[in-house]
Structures are given as structure tokens and as C-alpha cells.
Amino acid sequence: MSWIARLFGRTTPAAPAPTLPGRRESGETPRADFADFTPDLGAFLGHSAYVQLEVFEGLARAVLAAPTVADKEALSRAAARALTKQQQLVELIVRAKYQPAAVMEPFAPAIDAFKATTTGNDWWELLVSSYVTAGILDDFFIGLAAGLPAPYAAEVAEILSVPGANDVLRDIVAGGIEREPQLAHRLALWARRLVGDTLLVARSALAGEKDFDHVEPVFTELIAGHSRRLDALGLTA
């Protein structure tokens, strides 16, 4: 059983995936659009805005703990970009006539718990957490945004597609691994541990049917993006 299947609690062998009329023909590879699982606008915006707030908080901790002024400066640039995304999502919340704290609140306990388990034991693990979790969750919410009503679908995708902190984090972490090669093994293990927790956050954002075979392609796609990002650090996913 794959660990993605375990994530979804499937303990029996896969039954043939149900055919969704109009979505796929018998014999084709199971295929799912993120948009099939998009929750309503308020929940989507509240969840994604609170996730971005958590991404910002991780980067803020990284700024606070940065060992040099140069790292502090680079990370504050990264934090500013993450915070811009969060603020733009909050602007959409306000424009859609929701109250920001009210739509974010339902997601706070789970995301706060996620943050607590993914902060890491030192600055390097914290940086890798920001890199891995923000990378996956940005991809995830961009995909999920496709199911939002216009104009929100396009606007959210545009906000989240702006490169966030990843280039700054990649440069600092890759530089650290180059100087201290023994970091690589530890950080690769840590990154692997983060993926499961991060996909659980993504899973919790899915609305409606969460049949494993239907959802799996979504997660396979997220993991492919994650592997590319880890490659860029010189680590194996």
C-alpha cells in the first residue's frame, strides 16, 4: 500500500475507480481535477489566507533566528512576499463581504497544530519546513482555485503564483548544505516527514467526495512538484 493510500486511510485493495460521467472514459487512467474538490468561496479564502499567515509566521521565525544580517535581509524579503500574498487574499475576503477573522478562524486549530509539528529543531529545519510546506500548499491552493467562481478563480491563482520565498530559501539551504554536507541527510529525512503532514492539511481543504482513487492524481501531482523543489536543493524526495 502506498503511503498516499495510507494517508487516506485505505486498508483494502483498490476497487476499480468509479467512472464519473463526462470526466473520463472507461480504460483511461483515473484523472481528477482539483476543481472537483473546491470548497465554497468563504471557506477557500479563509483556509488559504490562514495557511499563508502560517507561511509568513514560519518565515518571520526564520528572520528572528537568522545568524547573519545578510540572511536576515534576504529572509525579510522572502517574508514580505509571503505576507503580500496573505494580505491580497484578505483583500479578496473583504471584497467578497466576508469578515477575515471569521472565515480564517475555523482553520486555525488544525493549522496551528500543523505549524507546531513542522517548526523543526533548528534554523535549518525551519527553513526546509517553509520551503517544503509553502511549495506544496501554494501548488495545492492554485489547483483548487480553479473551481472558484469568477473572478476569484483567476485572481487567487494570480496571487498565489507569484514566486514567494522559495528562491531565497533554496539559496540559503543549498548554500548551507554546500558548506556542511552532513546537513543533507538530516534535512532530507526532515523534508520527507513534512510531506505527510502537509498533504493532510491539503486533504482537509477538499470538499465533497474524497474517494481515494479519485483524489490520488491530485496528490501525485503535488508530490511531483515537491520532488522538483527538493532536487533544486540537491536532496532526494
Q: Tell me whether residue 40 or residue 105 sits nearer to a second copy (CB atom).
A: 105
Nearer to a second copy, 106 or 196 (CB): 106
- Nearer to a second copy (CB atom), residue 102 or residue 224: 102
For residue 204, the minimal CB distance to a second copy (Å) is 17
CB of residue 218 to a second copy, shortest distance in Å: 28
d(CA 122, CA 156): 33
Nearer to a second copy, 73 or 209 (CB): 73
DSSP codes joined into one string, 118-151 = HS-SSHHHHHHHHHHHHHHHHHHHHHHHTTSPTT
Q: How far is the CB of 50 from a second copy (least distance, A)?
A: 7
Q: Nearest 10 degrees: CA dihedral of 91, 131, 47, 10?
A: 160
Q: What is the torsional sign of CA 86, 91, 96, 101?
A: positive
Cβ proximity of 31 and 217 under 8 Å: yes
Query: Considering the complex, what minimum distance in angstroms separates the CB of residue 176 from a second copy?
Result: 17
Interatomic CA distance for residues 66 and 146, integer angstroms? 37
User: How far apart, in whole angstroms, are the C-alpha atoms of residue 237 and residue 232?
Assistant: 11
- What does the binding site for a second copy look like in residue numbers (CB under 8 A)? 50, 53, 56-57, 60-61, 63-64, 68-70, 72-73, 76-77, 79-80, 83-84, 86-87, 90, 100-101, 104-105, 108
For residue 100, the minimal CB distance to a second copy (Å) is 5
State which residue, 73 or 231, has the beta carbon closest to a second copy. Answer: 73
